[in-house]
């Protein structure tokens, strides 16, 4: 990945006040979330869609980029300017960000669906649709193995 650096995707940008993208996602994806005066989630309940685990400590969660930044780089983001990379890294409109267990996010790393799928097969449909949405919105390339894996995951969707 010649030239890749996570720093080329400015993430956790300020969204409003002292709230950055991470805190906004924690609020959106949690229940009964209480924030301190710096917008940090200090209480709440979160369900990790990837592995079915429930958490009450925000520090046990990561905010996953559904399409990992390194995977986006390999799929065409290497040709983007910093503003477009920042938009992807902080996208609260599309399906790019989700609060999940730190363990599941770290096991995923920067892998594409042909190399990693959520452990909960019941989430495969939603995950594959989110992946496809982000790839489409940002006009990112899809490899043949990735496409095959996405098709397999889409086959779990109910009609």
- Which uninterrupted H or E stretch holds 43? strand 41-48
| pLDDT, tens only, 7-43 | 999 999 999 999 999 999 999 999 999 999 999 999 9
Give domain status of residue 116, yes or no.
yes
Give domain status of residue 4, yes or no.
no
Q: How many domains in the chain?
A: 1
Give domain status of residue 108, yes or no.
yes
Give domain status of residue 80, yes or no.
yes
Predicted TM-score (pTM) of the model is 0.94
The domain of 74 spans 11-154
The pLDDT of residue 1 is: 76
Residue owning tokens 């043949």: 144
Residue owning tokens 């982000």: 134
Give domain status of residue 114, yes or no.
yes
Tell me the average pLDDT across 111-115.
Answer: 98
Give domain status of residue 3, yes or no.
no
- pLDDT band for position 142 (50/70/90)? very high
- pLDDT band for position 89 (50/70/90)? very high
**Closest C-alpha to 10, from 74, 90, 79, 64:** 90
Give domain status of residue 2, yes or no.
no
């Amino acid at each position: 990945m010649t030239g890749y650096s996570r720093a080329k995707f400015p993430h956790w940008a300020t969204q409003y006040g002292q709230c950055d993208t991470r805190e906004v996602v924690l609020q959106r994806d949690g229940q009964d979330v209480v924030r301190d005066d710096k917008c940090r989630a200090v209480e709440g309940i979160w369900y990790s869609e990837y592995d079915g685990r429930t958490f009450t400590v925000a520090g046990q969660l990561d905010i996953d980029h559904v399409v990992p930044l390194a995977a986006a780089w390999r799929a065409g983001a290497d040709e983007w300017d910093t503003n477009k990379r920042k938009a992807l890294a902080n996208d609260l409109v599309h399906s790019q960000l989700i609060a999940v267990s730190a363990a599941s996010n770290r096991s995923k790393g920067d892998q594409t669906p042909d190399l990693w799928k959520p452990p909960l097969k019941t989430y495969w449909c939603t995950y594959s649709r989110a992946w496809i949405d982000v790839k489409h919105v940002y006009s990112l390339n899809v490899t043949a193995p990735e496409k095959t894996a996405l098709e397999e995951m889409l086959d779990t969707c109910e009609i």
